Structures are given as structure tokens and as C-alpha cells.
């Protein structure tokens, strides 16, 4: 339509303010859709913090608590699982593999996790990705430790460095296992999961550092050196939890029931996926708040357009009189301003999306390595289309305010040109 080309030329004429308005709309659109995409991917990536594991088993407790200490290293177990029960369940015919987990110690704020080589074989995160040793190797010697990427980076450790493990979560001098120092044998590649913040040692090592301890304190008068401990029987007496992989997923509920009704001691078996989404629902409120804030940023961007258009109206009353003199209706004047608002909003949407994809292309590798979140570059999802449509509708609504004012002005002014 003729009036749209007028709107376009008018915007070009005021390209500086138009560009500023456009940028603020574009940035707000980038933020809105970016936050939406990030939160969807964060949810997906959170849901796959642990994948490939069919059941997590621990002492009887709620699923979220079990998930928190076994996967996220947050909080503590109420009780342990005896080594015999673990052996018994691991031997269940439907069970393919198990990964034992023994928690309770820490190193300078990072949790120490005792496990076996099976951990490196079967632990999966994201879309079936396995742990990769970035430097060095798995634990070979009794006093070897494999560090998560963040532990090594934050504390500046390299292969061969000695580390002292402390009893419990707090690192205080009287609770240090300083008679039995560990050596860093390997460092894992970044995963973006709690594995990055974990110090891994063997189950036997956990046993060894506790041979002369009882109920969280050294046994007075008893001191067994690191070398003496090597000669002892280091079979664990208990573990904290274990991960289970089944031969067939069909058996999941059958094995879960078997464990939940295990007669020797009270145990809980949980489905990681279900527990993860329960947990996300607890913390998902923040994610919604973020989306609401970015929606408000869009509103602020559109108000910038409103201000720019409204302040331009007074200096454009002459232009409107000229248009009226060549036969333009007040409706045309409305359409002219509306056209400008529409063009600004549409261009803002398009360049906002372009900016989003550009920053995704640039930021994708960084986000993936830092946070373990892989953001795919696919086209907008249906929900994103709804967001974009809502921005367009809001732009048109906001644009109708100056358009209506221009309509009223041109109706009142007619051909008299006032400044």
C-alpha cells in the first residue's frame, strides 16, 4: 500500500531515532527468546544430569532427598546400605550393572566420592554422553584420586599433586585424614554436571582412611599408617547409595518393587528421570520469574517506541496537513503512524532473532563447555512463535496510541498548519 512506503521513507528520514528504537526492541526480543530457549534447554539438560541409569538405590528416604545426595552431592544420607545387601541386589538376575557410591568425606569444600571403575564405564549424562578422562588416568593405586574439571580448575591441581581428604563436609584441621594423602591421577573433562565438583577415589581408599576411625573420630591410641593399611582387608562394610542399570527397561518396576520391599533393611529405589523433574518443579519458579522479567524488558522496549512516536507527532502536524491537502483521510494518517510502529516492531523481531542466532552460534561452544547445556540452533519452537506473535500484537497495541492521537490531531487541524 502507498501509505506503507510513506511510513518506510519517514522512518528512513528519522533513521537515527528509528534505529535506536529498533535496537531496543531487537535486544529485548533477543533476551526474551534467548531466556526461553535457555530455560527449555536448562530443563532438558537438568533432566539429563544423569542418564542411562535405571534406578538409584539408597537408604529409605524421599526420592528428592536421595537424588540430592547421590547425584547432586547436596545434603547427607540418613543411613547407609550394608555391603551384603548391595552384593545381593547387584546379583539380581535382571540387574546388568551397578555403580556403588560412598559419600561422607570432602576436600576443601568439594565432596569426595568413593566408587569403583564401573563408575567410569556406566555413568552417563546429557544425551548418553560418558565421562572422559582429560588428563592422566583412572585410579590405579589405592591412594589415587580422579578430580572433576571444576575441582582441578578452582584449586589449580595437576596430575601428581598431593591432596588431603577431610572427614565430613567441613574441612577442619582435627578432622583431616592427613596421615593418608592422595595423589591426583586423573582429571575429568568438563560435563556441566555435579561430577565436575567431585573428587573420586576408590571404595577401598575410603575404607583405608577410616581404618583407625570410629563414629567420626580417630580411635585414641590407634594409628595405622598409609602403608600398613595397604596390607589390610579393605572390603567396604557399607556404602551410601548405588546406581543400577537393568538388562531390560521393562523390568524397572519389578526391580524397584523388589528393592523397596527388600526384607533385610529399609531401602528406596527411585527412577532418576522422575525424581529429576520433581526436583526441577521445586526450583522452576526462578526460571518463570526470569521469563516474566524479560517480558517486561520487551514492554520497556515498546514504550521506547511509544515515546519516540509520540514526541515526533507535534513536529509532524504540518506533514499531516499536507497529506490531508492532497486527499489523505485521517485514516491514512492513522495508518501512516501505525505503519511505522508495525515496521519498527517487525524489524525489531527479525533483527532480534538474527541477533539471537548469531549469539547462539558464537556462544554455543562456550555455554556447552561451561554449563554443559547444548543449545540447538533449530528454528523457533511453537512456544517461541507464540512469544514472537505476542510481541507483534503488543507492538501494534502500543503503536495504536500515537496513531490514534495523530488521527485526532489531523481531524481537528484539517488544513490549518500549526506548529
* Binding-site partner at residue 196 among ligand ATP, another protein, none, CB < 5 to 8 Å by type: none
CB of 413 to ligand ATP, least distance (A): 6
Question: Which among ligand ATP, another protein, none contacts residue 267 (Cβ within 5 to 8 A by kind)?
Answer: none
User: 2-13 vs 330-371: helix axis angle to the nearest 10?
Assistant: 60
Name residues contacting another protein, limited to 2-61 (CB under 8 A).
2-3, 6, 9-10, 12-14
For residues 177 and 316, which CB has a smaller minimum distance to another protein in the complex? 316
Residue placing its CB nearer to ligand ATP in the complex, 215 or 416: 416
Partner residues linked to 55 by β-bridges: 244
Q: Which residues bind ligand ATP (CB under 6 A)?
A: 414, 416
Out of 229, 321, 355, 398, the residue judged to bind another protein by CB under 8 A: 321
Q: Does 170 bind another protein (CB under 8 A)?
A: no
Which of residues 88 and 315 has its CB atom nearest to another protein in the complex? 315
For residue 73, CA distances in Å to 4, 103, 155, 388 come to 60, 8, 19, 39
Provide the pairing of β-strand 182-188 with 144-147.
parallel
CB of 404 to another protein, least distance (A): 17
Which region, judged by CB under 8 A, interacts with another protein, from 23-31, 185-193, 213-221, 314-322? 314-322
Find the residue with minimal CB distance to ligand ATP. 416
**Candidates 1-9, 58-66, 101-109, 341-349 — which segment interacts with another protein by CB under 8 A?**
1-9
Tell me which of ligand ATP, another protein, none is bound by residue 235, counting a contact when its beta carbon lies within the kind-specific cut-off of 5 to 8 angstroms. Answer: none
By C-beta, is 173 or 416 nearer to ligand ATP? 416
> Smallest gap, in angstroms, from Cβ of residue 373 to another protein?
46
For residue 56, the cross-strand partners are 243, 270
Smallest separation, CB 416 to ligand ATP (Å): 5
Residues that bind another protein (CB under 8 A): 2-3, 6, 9-10, 12-14, 318-319, 321-329, 331-332, 414-417
Amino acid at each position: 500500500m502507498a501509505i506503507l512506503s510513506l511510513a518506510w521513507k519517514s522512518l528512513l528520514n528519522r533513521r537515527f531515532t528509528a534505529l535506536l528504537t529498533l535496537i531496543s526492541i531487537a535486544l529485548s526480543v533477543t533476551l526474551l527468546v534467548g531466556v526461553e530457549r535457555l530455560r527449555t534447554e536448562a530443563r532438558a539438560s537438568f533432566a539429563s544430569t544423569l542418564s542411562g541409569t535405571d534406578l538409584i538405590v539408597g537408604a529409605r528416604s524421599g526420592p528428592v532427598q536421595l537424588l540430592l545426595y547421590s547425584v547432586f552431592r547436596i545434603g547427607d544420607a540418613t543411613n547407609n546400605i550394608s555391603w551384603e545387601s548391595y552384593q545381593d541386589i547387584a546379583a539380581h538376575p535382571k540387574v546388568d550393572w551397578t555403580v556403588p557410591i560412598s559419600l561422607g568425606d570432602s576436600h576443601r569444600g568439594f565432596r569426595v566420592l568413593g566408587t569403583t571403575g564401573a563408575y567410569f564405564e556406566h555413568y552417563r549424562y546429557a544425551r548418553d554422553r560418558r565421562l572422559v578422562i582429560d588428563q592422566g588416568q583412572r585410579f590405579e593405586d589405592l591412594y589415587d584420586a580422579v578430580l572433576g574439571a571444576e575441582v582441578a580448575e578452582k584449586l589449580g591441581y595437576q596430575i601428581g599433586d598431593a591432596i588431603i581428604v577431610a572427614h565430613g563436609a567441613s574441612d577442619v584441621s582435627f578432622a583431616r585424614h592427613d596421615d593418608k594423602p592422595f595423589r591426583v591421577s586423573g582429571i575429568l573433562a568438563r560435563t556441566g554436571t555435579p561430577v565436575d565438583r567431585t573428587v573420586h577415589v576408590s571404595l577401598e581408599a575410603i575404607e583405608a582412611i577410616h581404618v583407625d576411625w570410629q563414629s567420626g573420630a580417630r580411635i585414641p591410641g590407634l594409628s595405622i599408617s598409609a602403608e600398613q593399611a595397604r596390607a589390610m582387608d579393605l572390603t567396604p562394610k557399607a556404602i551410601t547409595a548405588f546406581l543400577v542399570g537393568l538388562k531390560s527397561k521393562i523390568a524397572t518396576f519389578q526391580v524397584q518393587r523388589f528393592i523397596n520391599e527388600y526384607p533385610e533393611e529399609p531401602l528406596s529405589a527411585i527412577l532418576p528421570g522422575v525424581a529429576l523433574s520433581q526436583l526441577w518443579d521445586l526450583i522452576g519458579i526462578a526460571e518463570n520469574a526470569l521469563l516474566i522479567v524479560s517480558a517486561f524488558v520487551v514492554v520497556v522496549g515498546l514504550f521506547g517506541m511509544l515515546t519516540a512516536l509520540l514526541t515526533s507527532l507535534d513536529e509532524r502536524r504540518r506533514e499531516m496537513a499536507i497529506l490531508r491537502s492532497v486527499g489523505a483521510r485521517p485514516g491514512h494518517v492513522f495508518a501512516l503512524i501505525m505503519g511505522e510502529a508495525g515496521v519498527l516492531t517487525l524489524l525489531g523481531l527479525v533483527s532480534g532473532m538474527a541477533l539471537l542466532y548469531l549469539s547462539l552460534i558464537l556462544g554455543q561452544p562456550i555455554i556447552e563447555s561451561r554449563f554443559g547445556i547444548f543449545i540447538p540452533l533449530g528454528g523457533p519452537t511453537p512456544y517461541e512463535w507464540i512469544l514472537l506473535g505476542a510481541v507483534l500484537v503488543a507492538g501494534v497495541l502500543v503503536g495504536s496510541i500515537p496513531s490514534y492521537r495523530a488521527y485526532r490531531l489531523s481531524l481537528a487541524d484539517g488544513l490549518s498548519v500549526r506548529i
